[in-house]
Amino acid sequence: MATPTALTADEAAARLGEFTVVDVRSPGEYAGGHLPGAHNVPLDRLDEAAVALTAAAARRPLLLVCASGNRSATGCDRLASLGVEAAGLEGGTGAWTAAGHPVERERQGRTVWPMDRQVRFAAGSLVAAGFVAGRFWRPAHWLSAAIGGGLVFSGVTGHCGMAIALAKLPHNNRPAEGAVSFEETLIRLAA
């Protein structure tokens, strides 16, 4: 059976055993809850994992997952440019849990906020700071304008520079205690 480019949560759940599931979120987000059996390969490390993902895709189809479906769609496009076919999960883990499907969680004290929440918090804080600072130094209003422009760009293109920057922060890249390392994930995918 051919693999479509995107599957709904129910379609993916019905066929989950057919796929190698790859979660492209940051390790912190992944630890907060992921599809059963998913491997964590952050979007910004897909190129590093290309050989292992190619080997995994030769055995069974890949299903890429993120929080909302945007990063997994980007990952599918990136892998396609490398000659690796992959499907994405429409609506990401949000749609998966909303449909009542189970998630696995890593053992850790605190979970990292989902990336969309981190972006809303950072953008709102910067806009508020620009507004307040602009009361005392008028050019500071440009900070609010720049953040607003970035959010519009993100809405139009589906690519969020702030999310890319936030994903690189240490709290998003700290794997949960006892979690599988990136290197071990590559070995498992290639085997």
pLDDT in tens, 49-94: 999 999 999 999 999 999 888 899 999 999 999 999 999 999 999 9
> Of all helices (H) and strands (E), which one includes residue 87?
strand 86-89
Instruction: Give per-residue pLDDT as tens, 5-41.
Output: 899 999 999 999 999 999 999 888 888 889 999 999 9
> Do 19 and 74 sit in the same domain of this protein?
yes
Domain span at 82: 6-111+176-190
Phi, psi of 134 (to 5 degrees): -65, -20
Are 67 and 125 within one domain?
A: no
CA–CA distance, 25 with 27 (Å, rounded to integer)? 6
Based on the fold, state whether residues 92 and 185 are members of the same structural domain: yes
Pick from 99, 106, 116, 109: nearest CA to 154: 116
Which residues are identified as catalytic?
66
Grade residue 170 by pLDDT with cuts at 50, 70 and 90.
Answer: confident
Whether residue 108 has pLDDT greater than 80? no
What count of residues does the chain have?
191
Confidence at 4, pLDDT banded by 50, 70, 90: low
CB 27 within 8 A of CB 42: yes
Same domain, 59 and 46: yes
Q: Is the pLDDT of residue 176 over 80?
A: no
pLDDT of res. 15? 94
19 and 52 inside one domain: yes
Domain shared by 82 and 146, yes or no: no
Parallel, antiparallel or unpaired: strands 6-7 and 86-89: parallel
The number of domains in the chain is: 2
Q: If you ran DSSP here, which 8-state letter would residue 43 be given?
A: G
Q: Report residue 154's pLDDT band, with 50, 70 and 90 as the boundaries.
A: confident
Same domain flag for 100 and 122: no
Least confident of 82-86, 139-143, 170-174: 170-174
125 with 90, same domain: the answer is no
According to the model, what pLDDT value does residue 139 have? 92
